[in-house]
Amino acid sequence: MFRARHLLGIEPLAPAEITTLLDLAETYVDLNRRTVKRSDALAGMTQINLFFENSTRTQSSFELAGKRLGADVMNMAVAQSSVKKGETLIDTALTLNAMHPDLLVVRHNQSGAVKLLAEKVNCAVLNAGDGRHEHPTQALLDALTIRRAKGRLHRLTVAICGDIAHSRVARSNLILLGKMENRLRLIGPATLMPAGVGDLGCEVYEDMREGLKGADVVMMLRLQKERMDGGFIPSEREYYHRWGLDAEKLALAAPDAIVMHPGPMNRGVEIDGTIADDINHSVIRDQVEMGVAVRMAAMDLLARNLRAERGAQFVAEV
Ligand code: NCD
């Protein structure tokens, strides 16, 4: 059961759709561990990765996912493209649409830009992060990582720490983990909490030690300085002291707590390097591995819906 035409966010997904996607992703985790990593779920299809914002892991993860499913994958280096010459987002979309892609993976610095683009094209669109709005595949890969590490994806205490206000990762995770009925905590300075944080159904802590008590999952976030326009934090040193994850603070969480980070990580700012590398707690490398599998599952499911839709259109036409 997965009905969506596009994957623009976690918001419209039903819990059963999330579970369907994660279950399929499990099969791709197995495939990706084999020497021959090949499926033909997207054979003959064209995937275009359109990244208006810099990305290393997300773009390479989508590229690898598409290739392992047999798609023809093209990366558009938008930063050096016609966008620099003043072309609008919609013109870029319509130009690409004329090349008949089947899957379009888009990252953009404006919230809502990916949805706008999805309304103009005939293919399936996957949101690889739009502004501070949503980053659905990140939340799904985090969910798969948590489910594998904890054996379940419900009734867990999850603490998300750091720059919540500027984070699409936090937003998508809050929506997903909320749908799956977990206890959610947000930890960070008041200046980095989103407006209306009280309505999100989370517990909010400025004191990290309080917020970490008994947590099963500790998710650390980078300070998204590119989205800050002033003095949100005192200094990195002071920030690390109060909200950086170190062994002493982690000891307050559940003994078997897992530590997560979407990357890129700033060691010594939001997380101590030793914690990030501690194989007893850190699942940061697993997150990267799950990322490829989750993106394969998402593209596979969207491609099935696309085929069904086009098949129905074809029948209607003849
Ligand atoms: C995140 C993003 O781009 O939103 N990174 C990622 O996709 N792995 C988080 C970040 O940039 O800090």
For every residue of 84-132, DSSP letters joined together read: TTT--HHHHHHHHHTT--SEEEEEESSTTHHHHHHTT-SSEEEEEEETT
How many residues are recorded in the chain? 318
Kindly give the distance from the C-alpha atom of residue 30 to the centroid of ligand 1, in angstroms, as a whole number.
Answer: 25
Counting atoms of ligand 1 from 1, which one is nearest the CA of 138?
Answer: 7
Counting atoms of ligand 1 from 1, which one is nearest the CA of 129?
Answer: 4
Counting atoms of ligand 1 from 1, which one is nearest the CA of 55?
Answer: 3
Kindly give the distance from the C-alpha atom of residue 146 to the centroid of ligand 1, in angstroms, as a whole number.
Answer: 18
Asked if 164 and 189 count as a contact pair (C-beta separation under 8 A), the reply is: no
275/158 Cα distance (integer angstroms): 18
Q: Active-site residues: which are they?
A: 57-58, 85, 107, 135
**Whether the predicted model's global pTM rises above the 0.75 cut:** yes
Kindly give the distance from the C-alpha atom of residue 130 to the centroid of ligand 1, in angstroms, as a whole number.
Answer: 10
Crossing angle of helices 136-150/284-317, nearest 10°?
120
Asked if 184 and 174 count as a contact pair (C-beta separation under 8 A), the reply is: yes
Tell me the pLDDT of the chain (318 aa) as tens digits.
898 999 999 999 999 999 999 999 999 999 999 999 999 999 999 999 999 988 889 999 999 999 999 999 999 877 656 666 667 888 888 999 999 999 999 999 999 999 999 999 999 999 999 999 999 999 999 999 999 999 999 999 999 999 999 999 999 999 999 999 999 999 999 999 998 888 888 999 999 999 999 999 999 999 988 888 767 777 889 999 999 999 999 999 999 999 999 999 999 999 999 999 999 999 999 999 999 999 999 999 999 999 999 887 777 776
Rg (CA), the chain: 20
Residues 6+ apart with CB under 8 A from 29: 144, 289, 290, 293
Give the phi and the psi of residue 84 in degrees, each rounded to 5.
-65, -25
79/58 Cα distance (integer angstroms): 16
173/158 Cα distance (integer angstroms): 10
**Could you give the residue ranges of the DSSP H alpha helices within 99-251?**
113-118, 136-150, 168-179, 208-212, 236-243, 247-250
Q: 190, 143, 189: which is closest to 18 by C-alpha? A: 143
Asked if 198 and 204 count as a contact pair (C-beta separation under 8 A), the reply is: yes
Q: 156, 77, 153, 126: which is closest to 291 by C-alpha? A: 126
